Structures are given as C-alpha cells and as structure tokens.
Structure 1
Amino acid sequence: MSETAVEARETRKVYGQGAAAVTALGGVSLAIRKGEFFTLLGPSGCGKTTLLKLIAGFESPTAGQILLHGSDITFDPPNTRPVNTVFQSYALFPHLTVAENIGFGPKMQGRPKAEIAETVKRMLALVRMEQMADRKPGQLSGGQQQRVALARALAPAPKVLLLDEPLSALDLKLRKEMQIELKRLQVETGITFIFVTHDQEEALTMSDRIGVMQAGRLLQVGDPRAIYTRPANRFVASFIGESNFLHGTLRGNEMTLDAGPVLPVEKGDNAPAAGPVTAAIRPEQIRIAAGGGIPAKVRDTVYFGTDTHCVATLSDGTEITVRLQSPVSGDVGLHPGSDVHLRFEPGALIVLPEET
C-alpha cells in the first residue's frame, strides 16, 4: 500500500460570516500518495486553488485538517513546511541571474556554498538550462522562465511541489512541450507533484490520478482512464472530454431510449437500478453505418483537422456528436440532410447516477 504524502480530512474553507459567508471548500477529504503526479481539475471557482493554498499554508482552514506524511500541519506557517509552490506568474527575481535564482532557496536554508553550487549545477542540468546560467530573467522566453521557476522550486528539495496553473501563460505548442517536461521532472525527482488546472488535456496527459472538483466539492478521484471511461456523474462526463447524453428508461441491463431503440448499457457507480435515467457515450465510441443501427439524420459536420465531428439528430430531436477520423483528402462524405445509422461500441453507453 502506497504511503500517503498529503491528506486533507473534512477540510472546509469559508470566507466571510453570516449571510455574506461564501463556502469555497466544503468538507473535502483526499489522500495523495507519495511520489505521484496528482491533479486537481475543475472550472474557475471550484475550490482547487483554495485547497492548494491550504496545503501550502497561505490560508488556514475553517474546519478540518491538513497532514503531511502523517504529521498535522494545519496551522503551521508556510516557511516551516517542506513544500514549495510554482505560480502562474513565475515571480523570478529580475536582478538575479538564472543560477542565483535557483540557488536562492538553498542559500536561505543556510546550506554551505559548495553544496549550493552543486545543487544549482544539478538543477540547471535537470531543466536543461546549463547554457543560460548567467542570464537574467528578462533575457529569457516564457518557456525558459518557467523552467527556471521549476528549478528554483525544486532546489530546496521539497517533499511536495505545488503547481498553480503554471502553464496557462504559454502558447499552445510550448504548453504541450512543457507538459512532457513536467512529467519528466516529476518522474526523475520522485517528488510528489500536486498540479492545479482547468485544462482537461493537461490533466489526462500528465497525471497519475485526477481529482475532479465542482463548487467546493470533490466529485471523483481516479486515474485518467477511469475518470474518462467511468465518469461519476454528468458533470464529470461533460467536463472531461466530450459526451453525448441520452435519456430513456432502464430495465435490467437495457435502456429504452426516448427516441425508441433499446440498447444494452453499462451501469456506472451508484447508478439507479431501474426507471428514468441518463446515459453517456463519447463521440469516438460511435460508428456511422449504412444500416443496422439507430436511425438518424445528419445536421452538420465540422472539420477539426485530425478528425471531423458529425452532428446527427435522432427521431425525438436528440443531437448526437460522432467523431470520425478525417480522410487524407476530401471530406467524410456526410452532408446535412443525409440519413445514417449510428452504432455504439459495446459497453460504451454508461448509465449515470441521478444528479444531487
């Protein structure tokens, strides 16, 4: 059984009092394993950054506990916690060189000069910035500054590294490159990374596990594949990737759609045993066939480069999005008004629990 690095126990954070009180975090309990890349994922205002601040010590909880490797650090000041944070703005010291920025933390810890120099050398190699040791932050690109910020945060050898949307200021290509770099750094250092983002792709590509949050609540925790293929509820299914939602009546392991057809289904955790239900299916888990499936009519097609989305309408007006791989030349051959049949991959239609 993996050792727990960070644990939140029924942690609440309320700002203000009385009628003006706002609950940013409502009784969240979470255990993050030592040495894993854990991502807190959710929309703005869901409480993910609040939880990060409680772990860092920048805020104190209204109720509950924060533990680090089993020790209660709930009210310990930030400077006594073996935790470092990388923010959206890298906050590098503009008057210091890259090497001096990286060595700042160990210097504040009172480490010997030789040890600091060795640490700086090792960190520069880790983030592949050896040739830029003497440059100032103003002479670096955004991606290079981000690497220096990471090296500076790693230099004091924290037990946990907190990352508050550090890639949000980068352009798309550089952001994807840095996703790979972040995961590499985490694996090479073995440090527990807790990453905050609203970007589902970042969460899916980098994380060992993901915690999906909404309105101060933790809705689901699991590895990326489990989160994507077995969403806990409609919010998770819609926030992580794209989903089609179908309504109907459940009897046993079959669902009669409001549009008429009867389909086999998989039941998600806490799904109803019978009665009116909502089921989800991903666009890439649907095939378009000449016959033998659910009758539908093409409403529109949208070209995305690597794939094309076909929006089709069932007899009751329900819209279904199908993701098709784009051909090398031409289009997918489907046009508004075309009659098609939709086939669902076995086990892809998941019955969701009732909304709470």
Structure 2
Amino acid sequence: MTDDIAVEARDSGKVYGQGAGAVTALDGISLTIRKAEFFTLLGPSGCGKTTLLKLIAGFESPTTGQILLDGNDITFDPPNKRPINTVFQSYALFPHLSVAENIGFGLKMLGRPKAEIADTVTRMLALVRLDKMADRKPGQLSGGQQQRVALARALAPAPRVLLLDEPLSALDLQLRKEMQIELKRLQVETGITFIFVTHDQEEALTMSDRIGVMHAGHLLQVGDPRTIYTRPANRFVASFIGESNFLTGTLDGDLLTLDAGPCLTVEHGPDAPKTGKVTAAIRPEQIRITSTTLGDGIPATVTHTVYFGTDTHCLVALNDGTEITVRLQSPASGDVGLRPGSEVTLKFEPGALIVLPEAA
C-alpha cells in the first residue's frame, strides 16, 4: 500500500439474493484510486458502477472482499464513520432553508462552533461562486445553481473523498458542459479525491485524470482518457468510448488481410491474438478520404453523409459490403463535396488500426 492511494477495493464483490435468483452486481473488483485524483467510473446502466460507489460510501456492504481508505479497512464501517461525502442525482436540498443554511447544515449536525460554520459557509459560497445568493431559497435558483449548493454542502466538512453519482444527469446540455468545467475546477482547488459515476463518455473524457470502464459487474480497463480512447482493451471499451469502426480479416503478425481485400499494418491491443481470424478497430477521425480511386488505399463507395456542424460523418461501404464511418472536418460551406454513389479511396492513419481480443 503506497502513501498516494486514497481508496482501494480488493476483490470486492456484491451479490443480491440467494440461490437461483441471486444477481451478481459486482464480480471481484480490484481497484486503486489515488489521492487528489478525479477518477470516473464509466459504463452503461446496470454495470455495477453505482453499486461500487455504495460500497465505498458504506451504504452497502460487500459480499466478498474489502474496501480501504488511506490504507485502513473500512469495509463494515457505517457511513457516518467514514470521512466521505456523496452528491446524488437529486440535489436533496432543504427547500425551507437558505443557500447558506443548506451549506452549513452538515456542519451544524456535526456540532461545529457557529463561528467555524459561518467561516466555512463563506468560503464554500466563494468556491462555488454563489456569494450573492446566500439568502435565497433553493426554489429561487436554477438547476445549475442548486447543483453548486449541493456540492458546497458536501465539500463543507472537508471530506477525504467526494463521491458523485451522476450529479449532472438532470441538467440540460449547456448547463452540463458548464458544470463539467466547474467540477474539475473545484476538484483541483480543493485537492479532494473525486470519484465520479457516469454513463456519459464525454463527461468522463473531459474531466477525469483516470477512467475505469465497467460492464456487467466487471472492471474492463483503467487508464487515463487518452489511453482509454486510443488503446481500448477490448471491443466493448472501443465501442462504448467514442465511435469505432470494426473490420474483420486474417492476421499474420503485424499484417491484416481484410475480408474486403486490402492488406494493412496493424497495432496489437492488450491480449490480442497474433494470427488467425480477428477483429480490428479504427476511429472515424483516423481515416482519410479522397475522391480519387488512383494510388494505394482502400476502395469504397459513399452511401450517406450527415452534417454535424464542426464535422461531417461520411458513411462508406467497402467492396465486401462492410460499412464504416469517416469523420471529416466540415468546410465553411458545410459541403464536403461527397455524394451517395461516389467512388472514393480510404487511407488509415499509421498505427490507428488496432487488433482486439476475440473474446471481448
């Protein structure tokens, strides 16, 4: 156990029910989260990420394994004995209390002196930029402002770890983006370990120091956002984080002969095979497209284009019928000049095509 580890799950499992009706929510998760880190648990609904958060918070006890905080076993400590706070999807603010009173409520319950409470509330209001709204009631605030109050209340007791269970899900798109920036700023300024749960890949990529991708109760990959995106451990990670194209072919070392015909050089993902029938992944933005069919490259036919503003997605079909997406930066006119039926040539960026494990 090193000094920079805040939270550790050791072979932590959670099973609900017994016998034939038992449901495994977590299957032996082992994970370390560093001090002062913004760590995100990412995955689809039902993957076990919120269950793991509950084990850390103390709202649930693991069926197997341990939970440690700063090297100390807290597996069966009640929530009120853990220096950990949680921010939920619902803000859970007291409607009859002012913003300042909501922020100071937890400190009051802890029996802190009035002067300390007043000083802490003032600092928290400044931290979440609500200095001028101390006397307002929650009903007089926007959704984003209410979320800031909930954050300030959770941060006021200076917990060692702050757990955030999809706290931005109730906000509209613009507020979500603003709060993503605010959350990262708050984490950096306070130096508190944040453990954030979301199914939103953009939130995970933009805010996290590291990400743990979960699926069906398993932890599939842990890494920084760039590694998770560019070097996914398996097909699920590649498909869940961003958009990927999947191509099949026959592999011989570093050379992959696609079912569509061309032979390409590939990179190997973790635990990927070196020979035989395989699947390889490539991101849409790592493909170049030209309107000529001359020279080296993969021949394809444009089937559809979709304009997204900053970029245009071009759907093309290879000779064997495989459809892949190419992401192109949109010109000022918004017209990339490619029409359905156009014959084009595709070229892959060096090192962008990655062979993935067949079992994924």
Which bracket does the TM-score occupy, shorter chain normalised? over 0.9
Separation (CA, whole Å) in 2 of partners of 1:216 and 1:182: 27
Percent of residue pairs identical: 83
The total of aligned residue pairs comes to 356
Q: How far is the alpha carbon of 1:109 from its aligned partner? A: 1.6
Tell me, yes or no, if structure 1 residue 206 matches structure 2 residue 210.
no
SS in 1 for 2:250: strand
Shift, 1:111, TM fit: 1.2
2:162 maps to 161
Q: Which amino acid aligns with 1:119?
A: T
1:300 aligns with 2:304: yes
Partner AA of 1:90 in structure 2: Y
In the TM superposition, 1:70-89 aligns within 5 A as 70-89=71-90
Opposite residue 245 of structure 2, the aligned amino acid is N
Show the counterpart of 1:33: 34
Match for 2:213: what amino acid? V
What pairs up with 1:77-116 in 2 under 5 angstroms? 77-116=78-117
What's the CA shift for 1:110? 1.4
Please give the secondary structure, in 1, of the residue aligned with 2:163: strand
Contact 2:251 2:276 in 1 (8 A): yes
Aligned to 2:60: 59
Which stretch of structure 1 is more off in the superposition, 297-306 or 188-197? 297-306
CA deviations on 1:253-311 (whole Å, 9 max, x unpaired) are 11000111000001111110211111000000000022321000001001111110000
The Cα shift of 1:330 comes to 4.2
**Is the 8 Å Cα contact of residues 309 and 334 (structure 2) preserved in structure 1?**
no
Query: Equivalent residue for 2:354?
Result: 350
Aligned-partner SS, 2:118: helix
Q: Which runs of 5+ in 1 are unaligned?
A: none
In structure 2, what is the Cα distance between the partners aligned to 1:80 and 1:316? 61
Distance 2:65 2:181 in 1: 35
In the alignment, what sits opposite 2:230? 229
Give, as a single letter, the amino acid of the residue that structure 1 aligns with 2:275.
Answer: A
Q: Note the alpha carbon deviations across 1:182-215, whole angstroms, 9 max, x for none.
A: 0000000000000000000000000000000000
Corresponding residue number in structure 1 for 2:216? 215
Corresponding residue SS for 2:170: coil
Alignment partner of 1:351: what SS? strand
Superposed counterparts of 1:1-356, under 5 Å: 3-289=4-290, 290=292, 291=294, 292-355=296-359
Deviation, structure 1 residue 165: 0.2
How far has the Cα of 1:355 moved from its partner?
Answer: 1.3
Amino acid aligned to 2:278: V
Scaled by the length of structure 2, what TM-score is found? 0.98
Alpha-carbon shift at residue 2 of structure 1 (Å): 6.1
**In the aligned structure 1, how far is the partner of 2:205 from the partner of 2:3?**
21
Query: 1:161 is aligned with what amino acid?
Result: L
SS of the residue 2:226 aligns to? helix
Where does the alignment leave 5 or more consecutive residues of structure 2 unmatched?
none
Structure 1 CA distance, aligned partners of 2:357 and 2:191? 37
Q: Secondary structure at the match of 1:284?
A: helix
Q: Following the alignment from structure 2 to structure 1, what is the Cα–Cα distance between the partners of residues 334 and 97?
A: 55
State the SS of the aligned residue for 2:239: helix
Helix, strand or coil: the match of 2:336? coil
Superposition RMSD on alpha carbons, in Å?
0.8
**Contact 2:103 2:121 survives alignment (8 Å):** yes
Q: TM-score, normalised by structure 1?
A: 0.99
Conserved 8 A contact 2:100-2:121: yes
1:37-65 Cα distance to aligned partner (Å, 9 max, x none): 00000000000000000100011111110
